[in-house]
Amino acid sequence: MKNKNTTNRTASELLDLIVKVRREVYNDNGLDYAYASGVLITLMDWQLKGYDSYTDFQQHVNECYERYEKELAEHKIAA
């Protein structure tokens, strides 16, 4: 179930984007990497435990990246 119009993002790109959101939108006071790591660990655990057999890990990463891009756009911050 892969969307052909979607750029496949890496876990590293997702991590960097989440950190940017946490710093610029929420001013996380140094907890930005911990939060971002938690998001990635959750995505991996969700996939490894088989909670969603319809979506592959790459699609989860892409969807999560899009959500955080949207959040930056809502605050008028460039990704």
DSSP 29-75: TT-HHHHHHHHHHHHHHHHHTTS-SSS-HHHHHHHHHHHHHHHHHHT
Residues counted in the chain: 79
Instruction: Return the pLDDT at 1.
Output: 47
Q: What is the pLDDT along the chain (79 residues), one digit of tens a residue?
A: 455 567 999 999 999 999 999 999 999 888 999 999 999 999 999 998 988 878 899 999 999 999 999 999 999 877 6
pTM of the entire predicted model: 0.85
Q: Residue 13 and residue 32: Cα distance in Å, rounded?
A: 14
Instruction: Return the pLDDT at 52.
Output: 80
**Residue-wise pLDDT tens digits, 23-33:** 999 998 889 99
